[in-house]
Amino acid sequence: MHRLFLLPTLAINGAVILIPACLTVALAFFRWDGMSDPVFIGLGNFQALWADRVFWGALRNNIVWTAIFLTVPIAMGLLAAAMLLVVRRGRTFFQVVYFLPAVIATVITARIWQGMIFSPATGVFGYFSHLGLPLANPLSAPSTALYGVATVDLWHWWGFLCVIFFAALRQVPMEQIEAARIEGATFFQMMRYVLLPGIKPTIILMMIMTVIWSFLVFDFVYILTQGGPAFGSEVLSTLAYRNAFYDLNVGQAAAASVVISVFGLVATFFYIRVQNQEGER
């Protein structure tokens, strides 16, 4: 009987998520410009993607982006969360400061960095250039544009991880922490042998979610560089957007979206597996 209460939510998810997802997968096998009748071409869109150097560059950028966000912000979040656990005075203030960038709209964050940091006229790079100390703007070169955009997202994202990890660390039994202190454990020894093992499920969960979110990244890349210069910061989501709304090749955009979904489904599989393992303990 209780399962009947799930039907409204199931119906909404089916209408908003399942049906559009199925239509997207179906469109991946058609040639369609968004206006005329779709023409079935089988695997033609996927073959076109495999032959497109931009697609492989976008896929590589997504993998690089995932590698960055699986290491740098997670390490920063863990270190800051452990320090918050040790420091008692001003703990709430630091949590608010760390979490603040995560609640600012991505559009506003991107525009602030674009105008106040990267702009050659009004930003920090422009200021140093006027002083006769020109700095290489990372957004202006194909080899560094992706890392410049990632820097903005790192600033926006790591504080959220810090608060999540801090909440998990507070669930670690204080007896274990006090015992480690009595034994003379250093800060990093306590991190390695007490704190990190105590929040291992949370770390694994956030790493899996980071993989999913990394392949869905769009807003910061599109606002700051639109995938440029010379496709240097192109990712799969911006490639799909450009195919659909600039090239009017909706079928190929749907094929790129299917590739994104495959990576998301693989990460989701591991997420569900971890959840089931935790539920069995």
Q: What is the CATH number of the domain that holds 74?
A: 1.10.3720.10
Q: Report the pLDDT value the prediction gives residue 281, as an integer from 0 to 100.
A: 61
Whether 33 is covered by a domain: the verdict is no
Whether 218 is covered by a domain: the verdict is yes
Whether 18 is covered by a domain: the verdict is no
Whether 167 is covered by a domain: the verdict is yes
Question: Torsion-angle region of residue 231: left (phi > 0), alpha (psi -120 to 50) or beta?
Answer: left
Q: Report the pLDDT value the prediction gives residue 279, as an integer from 0 to 100.
A: 63
Whether 38 is covered by a domain: the verdict is no
Whether 11 is covered by a domain: the verdict is no
Structural domain that includes position 226: 52-280
Question: Torsion-angle region of residue 142: left (phi > 0), alpha (psi -120 to 50) or beta?
Answer: alpha
Domain count of the fold of the chain: 1
Q: Report the pLDDT value the prediction gives residue 219, as an integer from 0 to 100.
A: 93
Q: Position 71: which residue type?
A: T
In 3D space, the residue among 161, 156, 148 whose CA is nearest the CA of residue 109 turns out to be: 156
Q: What is the pLDDT along the chain (281 residues), one digit of tens a residue?
A: 567 777 888 888 888 888 888 999 999 999 999 889 999 999 999 999 999 999 999 999 999 999 999 999 999 999 999 888 888 788 888 888 999 999 999 999 999 999 899 988 888 888 888 887 777 889 989 999 999 999 999 999 999 999 999 999 999 888 888 888 888 888 888 888 888 988 988 998 899 889 989 999 999 999 999 999 999 999 999 999 999 999 999 999 999 999 999 988 888 888 788 777 766 66
Whether 27 is covered by a domain: the verdict is no
pTM of the model: 0.91
Q: Report the pLDDT value the prediction gives residue 277, as an integer from 0 to 100.
A: 73
Whether 13 is covered by a domain: the verdict is no
In 3D space, the residue among 233, 79, 50 whose CA is nearest the CA of residue 165 turns out to be: 79
Longest dimension (CA), the chain: 74
Kindly give the residue spans of alpha helices, DSSP state H, lying in the chain.
7-13, 19-27, 44-50, 53-69, 72-86, 91-103, 106-113, 124-130, 145-169, 174-182, 187-190, 196-198, 200-215, 219-224, 236-245, 250-280
Quickly tell me which residue has 């670690």 as its tokens: 172
